[in-house]
Chains A and B, each alone.
Chain A
């Protein structure tokens, strides 16, 4: 199956078009049952290097809050990852679509809903 992968800002260095302006994009042929964890391994990207992440326009991870590592992809999924300089303030994402795992994680950890990770690990 095919994954449409978009890597923004500094993360484009993990794509096969690292010199493109502002972003890298790849179509990857992957096996059934492929997970976010598998994709990160293939990209050689530490999961801590990514911040805001989407699967098909659904928010799946925030900086320092990544309940999506076991997310299983489907054919033609669009996956987008942002570097840690990126941001999405709560007032501009309140009510936006989330993956099921993100929605569940937010209900278990409601304090993560509004805040933006600002720990030194992001340095």
Chain B
């Protein structure tokens, strides 16, 4: 295993052995530790001292199901704190298969106007990866749906692509890093926190992998791994949410739209209501039924990455059976739908496609447009106007550049008081005034408002459950701490977070999850060990944030959520600050 460092100032690279202290660190655990160790917390996120670290998970590139995730870490230009964003893509196992534990992009080229690409392949004779550079300036300023086919044409064999779109090239706080999906679409994003701008600041347009001939990852205890793998597969394939033709495979993540709407927790028209009258037209059920009507048959979802057996990614089709976009996630149909008062599914799909094409994060984009609508730039419900504003962002007009800076900056630019952000990052699709547990996680996660920071693993399995009432604020704080720690471990394992659904309910699945990791690493971890592993990730991330000036006082929701009752339940966020502070005080 190596750490591969690419120096963009010298256009050179070197391979280093993985130091002993990183021996068990993968994925988010490694990206966060390396950012903590190597990036000055007060550096400018787009300056020469920031670094970008890529790392695949513990079981990535093995036959473990649904495990092709790669973490991307850096100092975030959006939040000013540490960032880990991850994606499911063939790029992840290809990186791991070449035994690159961490890929570090550092330095800054002298000629700022020129962009580069790197091609990383396996040097069979030398028995290690090699890196070649090429001039990628001619690929800039373009729709990534245009550049990806050119790269597939240019490089022979099966390659995987990592790239950045216009949003990153224009240094937006709202910019993701894009990877290919299984159909070569540029649609799998490590989307949040402006990681795309950091990659573009290094003037690196492409990181292309061809793992042909590479040895793959070692598995220390293959029988144990196989036993764990089988348990995981059985759990995923039998659980109602994750099984074939189950919830995620049928309706995708957008299955949550109608649920949150009925619960009064679907943020609507820039977080001014919890219920949207047009929600059902934008939901997973509507996507499934519209496809059935247009295609003449039921269309079940597909895998975003190799080895995924949950397969939750949808494709949305036009009336002429051509593809309009892939895929419409819950967060996207909400942010560009209910949050904007828009119920036209075709226009929402167009906006998703444009965000992908320009390299924008759909959550941040919807949050920003909601604030812009509140400011009167365009009215709520104006889907064509929203499409035009996304084009302005992609093309970099003066207005587009303000919007591309993100929700919080847009709120300041237009003097809007209702700005739904935490630590500068736009809030996802669960209203904290209606779902108070998620509000605690939004407030306290190291990432800024993040719906993926605290997935549920049963506390009785983890052995971390205290005696407090889980319905009380104190109980919710305790749960949030446990959930955030275990989520940090899942983010390090390489598994998709959606394995949390079956392993929450099926004990053998949880056992299998740990056995897989122990099998690969030769460890003897227990449930308590993985909680401790995840907790250490959070400690490192919080230490970086504190050194960057983001202290416990930043663990708060925006004030309007404590002042404005949210219809239809007419509740404010009333979790006391002491409960928010308790989340990490005791860790």
Complex contact A96–B240 (CB within 8 A): no
**A41 sits at the interface (CB 8 A):** no
Q: How far is the CA of A89 from the CA of B238 in the complex (A)?
A: 17
The answer to whether A116 and B256 touch across the interface, beta carbons within 8 angstroms, is no
Residues of B within 8 A of A91 (CB): 437-438, 441, 454-456, 483
Interface of B is mostly: helix
A72 on the B face (CB < 8 A): no
Pairwise interchain contact A94-B504, C-beta atoms closer than 8 A? no
Q: B251 at interface (Cβ–Cβ under 8 A)?
A: yes
Binary contact track A49-63/B, C-beta < 8 Å → 1, others 0: 000101011010001
B residues with CB within 8 A of A? 238-241, 245-248, 250-251, 255-256, 258-260, 262-265, 274-275, 280-281, 283, 285-286, 288-290, 293, 430, 434-439, 441, 451, 454-456, 458-459, 470-471, 476, 479, 483, 500-502, 504-506, 568-569, 571
Q: Which residue of B lies closest to A115 (CB)?
A: B505
Contact (Cβ within 8 A) B246 A94: no
Indicate if A97 sits at the interface (CB-CB under 8 A): yes
> What are 6 pairs between A and B in contact, CB < 8 Å?
A21-B293, A22-B285, A85-B247, A87-B248, A89-B500, A116-B241
Question: B238 contacts which chain A residues (CB < 8 A)?
Answer: 118
Bound CA span A80–B293, Å: 24
Which residues of the partner chain A approach B283 to less than 8 Å between Cβ atoms? 8, 22-23
Known: A89-B455, A95-B436, A97-B264. 14 other contacts (CB 8 A): A22-B286, A85-B246, A87-B240, A87-B255, A88-B263, A89-B241, A89-B500, A92-B438, A94-B438, A96-B434, A97-B569, A116-B239, A118-B239, A118-B505
Give complex CA distance A85, B246 in Å.
Answer: 6
A52: chain B residues within 8 A (beta carbon): 259
The complex places the Cα of A110 from the Cα of B471 at a distance, in Å, of 10
* Bound-complex Cα distance A6 to B283 (A): 14
Residues of chain A touching chain B, judged by Cβ–Cβ distance below 8 Å, are 6, 8-9, 21-23, 52, 54, 56-57, 59, 63, 78, 80, 82, 84-97, 106, 110, 113-118, 122
Roughly how many angstroms separate A9 CA and B247 CA in the complex, as a whole number?
A: 11
**In the complex, are the beta carbons of B289 and A22 less than 8 A apart?**
yes
With beta carbons under 8 angstroms apart, the residue of B241, B255, B436, B502 that contacts A94 is: B436
A52 to B260, CA, bound (A): 11
- Whether the pair A86, B251 counts as a contact (CB closer than 8 A) is yes
Q: Are A115 and B246 in contact (CB under 8 A)?
A: no
In the complex, the answer to whether B280 meets A8 with C-beta atoms within 8 Å is: yes
Tell me the smallest distance from the CB of A19 to a CB of chain B, in Å.
10
Indicate if the CB atoms of A113 and B456 lie closer than 8 Å: no
- Known contacts A6-B262, A57-B568, A116-B504; decide if A23 and B280 are in contact (CB<8 Å): yes
Q: Which partner residue on chain A sits nearest B498 by CB separation?
A: A89
- Measured between beta carbons, the chain A residues less than 8 angstroms from B248 are 87
Q: Are B437 and A94 in contact (CB under 8 A)?
A: yes
**Which residues on A sit within 8 Å (CB–CB) of B568?**
56-57
- A95's partner among B288, B438, B455 (CB-CB below 8 A) is B438
Q: Are B569 and A57 touching (Cβ within 8 A)?
A: yes
Min CB distance A72 to B, Å, is 20
With contact pairs A22-B280, A57-B568 given, residues A84 and B240 touching in the complex (Cβ less than 8 Å): yes
Please, which residues of chain A bring their CB within 8 A of the CB of B454?
91
A8 x B285 contact (CB < 8 A):
yes
Choice from A78, A82, A114, A118 contacting B259 with Cβ under 8 Å:
A82
* Minimum CB distance partner of B265 in chain A: A96
A94 to B246, CA, bound (A): 23
B33 nearest CB across to chain A (Å): 25
Residues of A within 8 A of B247 (CB): 85-87
Q: Which residues of B contact A82 (CB under 8 A)?
A: 258-259
Residue of A nearest to B506 (CB): A118
* B275 x A57 contact (CB < 8 A): yes
Give the docked Cα–Cα distance between A49 and B319 (Å): 32
Partner of B290, one of A6, A21, A54: A21
- Are A116 and B505 in contact, CB atoms less than 8 angstroms apart? yes
CB pair B240 A85 closer than 8 Å: yes
Chain A residue numbers with a CB within 8 Å of B289 are 21-22
> Do A94 and B286 contact each other (CB < 8 Å), given the known contacts A82-B258, A86-B251, A87-B501?
no
Residue with the greatest number of chain B CB neighbours at <10 A, chosen from A6, A9, A52, A84: A9
Which B residues touch A57, using CB under 8 A? Answer: 262-264, 274-275, 568-569
